[in-house]
Amino acid sequence: MSNPDVIVAGGGPAGSSTASFLRQRGRSVLVLERERFPRFHLGESLLPFGGDLYRELGVFDEIDRRYLHKPGARILHEESGESFTYYFDCAIDAHNPYAYQVPRGDFDQLLLDNARRLGAEVREETSVGKVAFHPDRVEVLARGPDGREFTVEAPMFVDATGRDALVATAHQLKVPDEAITTNVACYTHWQNARREPGVDEGNFTLLLFDGGWWWLIPFRGDVTSVGVVFEKSYTLARKGMSPAELYEGALAEQREIRKILDGATRVRPIETTGNWSYRATRFYGDRFLLAGDSAAFIDPLFSTGVLMAMQSGKYAAEAIDEALAADDFRAERFARYEERALAGADLFKKLVHEFYGENLRRILIASGSNPTVCSIIVSLLAGDVYKKAMWHSVIRKRGFSRLAHQGEIPGLRPRSTRQIARSSGGPPGDPPPSR
């Protein structure tokens, strides 16, 4: 492709979605991906409201057939042993009643292949080096799988390079989120971990303990992704320990996770990733946009990464299509793109901040006392953050902790608590506070 309309760096969910939505608008796209797909990647639990995007891209039926359905999210508390499950079919808007648990290598391959099917040119094992922005074009220097360098030009460039954040790093745009208190995650896969019975087999489990939280993501078959995220205080008290020692030490200390993994076999090495949670000071400039993790990354607590990446890809494609039609690529015309992408991300960020402030941990377990708060939490956990809704503004103004002590929100008629969330191990109580 000698003269594409758009060059996209990165073939993950943000890059492939940007390319696919652009192809649906008749724009020519070149995707440059550093790795060879499929490749391992974290972020294996999806959110229900991604279903709207899968339908638009024409991949919903294949995703629905291929992956384990995720009907809800279970919150489990180590110290009290209390459990509370939120079911997505009881969200305020319940037209996406379940999500999926996906091995990301396979899922990302599906999305990238769909971009190819729609007509995007995809070059894998091709790394992007220097990106030069000129008044009349963008010039990209890349290196192909044979080691040879080549140059390609286009009117627009999209950085979808994930946490590498090619443009934001080069231009010092990344700002860390200091409110997040976690600093390391250790993860692996287990075979034959204990699962919930029946349709609840596909539930995501968030296991809270004093010092961090575990995730459990079951895949179709007998493999489960099991990772642990540690808060800074926990790792500082165990300075010098390897990732495997941290992981195995936490496993030995905690009763609930040992129950789940009793009789299971670990089938991957224990790996680790460092602190995350950052945002670029701006998502755009003359002739470029940042999409997905290259623009911002929120702590993975509520599995928001893929939805945010694909939604930003859709918004990026719309903004670029309009710019190409107008032959106008000045930075100011892309401000609306950033505004749209941040509208949903800010709600997720508020949820994460309140969680690490400890108040939300109590609410997640004891929300049965307030049906309104419960229905809102279900909706947020489902990913309903990108369409304007009356309750969005309430959350931004009041927050969850204050909202929990308020009465009903005028105009919102949630279903009964019994329908929204079902608890096990006794009625919802007030567990002891955890860090």
Pair 331, 307 in one domain: yes
Pair 307, 243 in one domain: no
Pair 96, 192 in one domain: no
Query: Of 422 and 6, which is predicted with more confidence?
Result: 6
Q: Write down which residue in 345, 372, 404 finishes a domain.
A: 345
Q: In terms of Cα–Cα distance, which of 227, 224, 228 is closest to 193?
A: 224
Kindly state whether residue 432 falls inside one of the protein's structural domains: no
Q: What is the mean pLDDT of residues 362-366?
A: 70
Would you say 216 and 45 are in contact if contact means Cβ atoms under 8 Å apart?
Answer: no
3-state secondary structure 177-238: CCCCCEEEEEEEEEECCCCCCHHHHHCEEEEEECCEEEEEEECCCCEEEEEEEEEHHHHHCC
Pair 282, 334 in one domain: yes
pLDDT for residue 358: 61
pLDDT for residue 377: 83
Kindly state whether residue 61 falls inside one of the protein's structural domains: no
Question: Which CA distances in Å does 209 have to 214, 250, 346?
Answer: 8, 10, 26
Q: Write down which residue in 238, 258, 274 finishes a domain.
A: 274
Q: Which two tokens stand for residue 134?
A: 């000129």
Query: Of 180 and 211, which is predicted with more confidence?
Result: 211
Q: What do you get for the CA distance between the two ends of the chain, in Å?
A: 53
pLDDT for residue 299: 82
Pair 95, 111 in one domain: no
Kindly state whether residue 350 falls inside one of the protein's structural domains: no
Would you say 195 and 224 are in contact if contact means Cβ atoms under 8 Å apart?
Answer: yes
Q: Which two tokens stand for residue 258?
A: 């040992």
What's the CATH code of the domain at 324? 3.50.50.60
Q: Which two tokens stand for residue 302?
A: 């509520």
- pLDDT at 434 exceeding the cut of 70: no
DSSP three-state, residue 316 = helix
- pLDDT at 252 exceeding the cut of 50: yes
What's the CATH code of the domain at 205? 3.30.9.100
Report pLDDT digits (tens) over 124-139: 999 999 999 999 999 9
Kindly state whether residue 55 falls inside one of the protein's structural domains: no
pLDDT for residue 369: 58
At 328, is the pLDDT very low, low, confident or very high (cuts 50, 70, 90)? very high
- pLDDT at 296 exceeding the cut of 80: yes
Kindly state whether residue 84 falls inside one of the protein's structural domains: yes
At 205, is the pLDDT very low, low, confident or very high (cuts 50, 70, 90)? very high
The total of structural domains in the chain comes to 3
pLDDT for residue 431: 33
Q: Write down which residue in 287, 314, 345 finishes a domain.
A: 345
Report pLDDT digits (tens) over 114-125: 999 999 999 999
Pair 270, 284 in one domain: no
Query: What are the residues whose beta carbons fall under 8 Å from the beta carbon of 348, sequence distance 6 or more?
Result: 298, 302, 304, 308, 380, 385
Pair 114, 169 in one domain: yes
CA distance 259 to 256: 5
CA distance 314 to 333: 16
Kindly state whether residue 30 falls inside one of the protein's structural domains: yes
Kindly state whether residue 60 falls inside one of the protein's structural domains: no
Instruction: Determine the Cα angle at 132 with ends 130 and 134, to 5°.
Output: 170
Residue type, 282: R
Pair 210, 132 in one domain: no
Pair 194, 341 in one domain: no
Name the burial class of residue 244, with classes exposed (0-12), middle (13-18) and buried (19+) by CB atoms within 10 angstroms of its CB: middle
Q: The domain containing residue 404 runs over which residues?
A: 69-100+357-424
Question: Which CA distances in Å does 181 have to 259, 275, 303, 352, 354?
Answer: 27, 9, 17, 10, 12
DSSP three-state, residue 94 = coil
CA distance 302 to 383: 9
Q: In terms of Cα–Cα distance, which of 136, 135, 238, 255 is closest to 183?
A: 238
**Which position has the token pair 């690529």?**
329
Pair 37, 152 in one domain: yes
Question: Which CA distances in Å does 334 have to 280, 284, 290, 320, 331?
Answer: 15, 6, 11, 8, 6
Average pLDDT value for the chain: 88
Pair 93, 237 in one domain: no
Instruction: Determine the Cα angle at 193 with ends 190 and 194, to 5°.
Output: 165
Query: pLDDT > 90: what percent of the chain?
Result: 67
Name the burial class of residue 435, with classes exposed (0-12), middle (13-18) and buried (19+) by CB atoms within 10 angstroms of its CB: middle
Kindly state whether residue 133 falls inside one of the protein's structural domains: yes
Pair 203, 192 in one domain: yes
Provide Rg for the chain, Cα atoms: 22
pLDDT for residue 301: 83
